Structure 1
Amino acid sequence: MNTNTDCEIYSSRVLEFSVEKVYRAFAEVEHLKDWWGPEGFTNTIHEFDLKPGGNWILTMHGPEVGHYENASVFTTVVPMELVAWQRKSKPLFAMEVGFKKLDDARTEISFRMIFDSAEECNKIKGFATPKNEENFDRLERELLKVG
Structure 2
Amino acid sequence: MTANNEADAAEMTVDREVVVSRMISAPRELVFEAFTQVRHLSRWWGPDGFSSTTRSFEFRSGGIWDFVMHGPDGTDYQEWITWQEIIPSERIELLHGAFRDDPDAFTSVLTFEPIGDQTRIVMRTVFPTRELRDEAVQRYHAIEGGEQTLGNLASYVDELVQDGAAPNAATGRE
**1:77-128: per-residue Cα shift (whole Å, max 9, x none)?**
111111111124265211112111112x110001111111111111112311
Cα distance in 1 between the residues matched to 2:97 and 2:147: 24
d(CA) in 2 for partners of 1:136 and 1:63? 18
What is the rounded CA distance, in whole Å, between the counterparts of 2:133 and 2:55 in structure 1? 27
Is residue 131 of structure 2 the alignment partner of residue 119 of structure 1?
Answer: yes
Q: Deviation at 1:45?
A: 1.2
- 3-state SS, counterpart of residue 144 of structure 1: helix
Aligned residues: 146
Decide whether aligned partners of structure 1 residues 29 and 145 sit closer, same or farther in structure 2, where only a CA change above 3 A counts: farther
**Displacement of 1:33:** 0.9
- Decide which structure has the larger Cα Rg and report it: 2
Partner residue of 1:73? 82
The residue correspondences of 1:88-103 to structure 2 (distance < 5 A) are: 88-89=97-98, 91-103=104-116
Cα RMSD, aligned residues only: 1.5
- Give the % identical residues: 27
TM-score by length of 2: 0.78
The structure in which a higher percent of residues are strand is 1
Which residue pairs with 2:94 in the alignment?
A: 85
CA contact (8 A) 2:67 2:78 kept: yes
| CA distance, structure 2, for counterparts of residue 133 and residue 85 of structure 1 | 18
1:107 has 2:116 as partner: no
| Paired residues of 2:55 and 2:66 also in contact (CA < 8 A) | yes
Residue 51 of structure 2 aligns with an amino acid whose one-letter code is T
TM-score (ref. length: structure 1): 0.92
